[in-house]
Amino acid sequence: MEGNEETKESKAVRDIHNILEEIHISIGDKHSLEKEELIEDLQEAMLKLLKIKTGGSEIVRSARRNAVARLYMAVDLLEHWPECRPLEECTMENCQVIDHIDQISAEVEPMKQELLLSLASDCPEVSHYTRLAKALNAVQLRLDAVEACGRETIRAYRRASVQRVSLLLRFLDHAGEMGIGFVPSVEENVGGVGNLLDTAPLADVRETLRDANLLKAEMLGLCHSTNISETPTETAIQEEEHETLEFAMEDEGKRHQTLSGLQRQLLALQGRLDAVQTGRNPYVRQERRRAVLEVQALLSHGDLLHALEEWKIKTGSENEDVQPAHPAEVIVWKVGTSWHIVSPFPLAHVN
């Protein structure tokens, strides 16, 4: 049974690579054709990818998602590619400047083609994107150095070329930030998902996330201890009011000390996450991002609790007639006291 599952997983990954190989060839063959035809081919390839069943395999799901994201980026690049319109009126002096701009801009089209081919193929090395970005920056500097001499027509023509370079640079940055360049090879997946999931960095991230969940439970308990229990009658409130306030005053220093300790531990966890080397493993990158969001949310809530304690001392929480000076303070108070109910970051499930 296990062997059949691995065979299905390998076959699904191989199908993904076959689709990418087909669209890679299509991009190379239709370099000089209309972009609408190429966009149609890219969209058809995305539909084929979405029809591939993952069979519950995380590695197939990740490979399919990354492949679709890359092809979608290629479509987006083609749809937003600015066209340089030829000038209707061109004097002898203007033509010399325009020819110079055209010579520089001629280097941009092959770079666009190179990026499209990269998006539709296996992940290139990081140095590939770095080299392409350096070449685009050099072209942009040369375009900026072209003197328009106050002529709006030349300035507009140069601006269109600069927009092309800027667009390619933005797509390169986006590809790096999203980490969508990773598509696992068939050989990497013949042995199953263990090659990617059974790694030390992923284990470190999950251990850190478990520690963060323990600290979160302590912080939620601290939130409960700050709330005054509701009673059904006014008489019961009056009888317990003095006792409750005395308890709150005695416990204030302890809660403040506990909260400070929790925040220090959260900062230590954040440092551990920053030290994790994600490499090209999408699972480590995704798990680390989730853990960072969890820790940052807890740190923000700790700061909010500190602010609420200071607000209570400032306004005198024992006086029922005292109200927040601004409606925003009311919202902050509600968020702080009911965070355990409305938190967008529930206790993370760790396998």
Q: Do 33 and 161 belong to one domain?
A: yes
The answer as to whether 17 is a domain residue is yes
The answer as to whether 350 is a domain residue is no
The answer as to whether 348 is a domain residue is no
Q: Do 155 and 177 belong to one domain?
A: yes
Q: Would you state the pLDDT for residue 313? A: 66
Last residue of a domain, one of 189, 217, 249: 189
Work out the number of other CB atoms within 10 angstroms of the CB of residue 240: 14
Q: Do 282 and 179 belong to one domain?
A: no
Q: Would you state the pLDDT for residue 191? A: 39
The answer as to whether 175 is a domain residue is yes
Q: Would you state the pLDDT for residue 93? A: 59
Q: Would you state the pLDDT for residue 198? A: 60
The single-letter code of the amino acid at 95 is C
Domain count, the chain: 2
The answer as to whether 351 is a domain residue is no
Q: Would you state the pLDDT for residue 202? A: 80
Q: Phi-psi category of 121—alpha, beta or left, where left has phi over 0 and alpha has psi -120 to 50?
A: beta
Q: Do 280 and 208 belong to one domain?
A: yes
Q: Do 321 and 209 belong to one domain?
A: yes
The answer as to whether 194 is a domain residue is no
Q: Would you state the pLDDT for residue 156? A: 84
Q: Do 128 and 205 belong to one domain?
A: no
Q: Do 177 and 220 belong to one domain?
A: no
Q: Would you state the pLDDT for residue 346? A: 38
Domain containing 35 equals: 2-189
Last residue of a domain, one of 189, 220, 244: 189
Q: Would you state the pLDDT for residue 314? A: 67
CA gap 240, 228 in Å, rounded:
10
CA gap 335, 161 in Å, rounded:
50
Q: Do 65 and 131 belong to one domain?
A: yes
Q: Do 183 and 203 belong to one domain?
A: no
Q: Which long-range contacts (CB under 8 A, 24 or more apart) does 334-340 make?
A: 335/304, 336/223, 336/301, 336/304, 336/305, 336/307, 336/308, 337/223, 337/226, 337/227, 337/308, 339/220, 339/223, 339/301, 339/304, 340/220, 340/223, 340/224
Handedness of CA 80, 31, 49, 281 (dihedral sign): negative
Last residue of a domain, one of 189, 207, 240: 189
Q: How are the residues of the chain apportioned to helix, strand and coil, as percentages rounded to the nearest 5?
A: 75, 0, 25
Q: Do 28 and 161 belong to one domain?
A: yes
Residue 180, both tokens: 């969508």
The answer as to whether 225 is a domain residue is yes
Residue 241, both tokens: 């009011």
Q: Would you state the pLDDT for residue 33? A: 55
Q: Would you state the pLDDT for residue 174? A: 73
- Give the residue carrying structure tokens 């749809």: 79
Please give the chain's pLDDT, 351 residues, in tens. Answer: 444 445 788 888 889 889 988 888 888 775 555 778 888 888 899 889 888 888 888 788 888 888 888 888 888 888 888 776 665 555 555 678 888 888 888 888 888 888 888 888 766 566 677 788 889 988 988 888 888 777 788 888 888 888 899 899 888 877 665 555 444 444 444 333 345 556 788 888 888 888 888 888 887 776 655 443 444 444 445 455 555 555 555 556 667 777 788 888 999 999 999 888 876 565 677 778 888 888 988 888 888 877 777 776 666 554 444 455 556 655 655 555 554 433 333 333 433
Q: Do 13 and 62 belong to one domain?
A: yes
Q: Do 307 and 228 belong to one domain?
A: yes
**pTM score of the predicted model:** 0.50
The answer as to whether 104 is a domain residue is yes
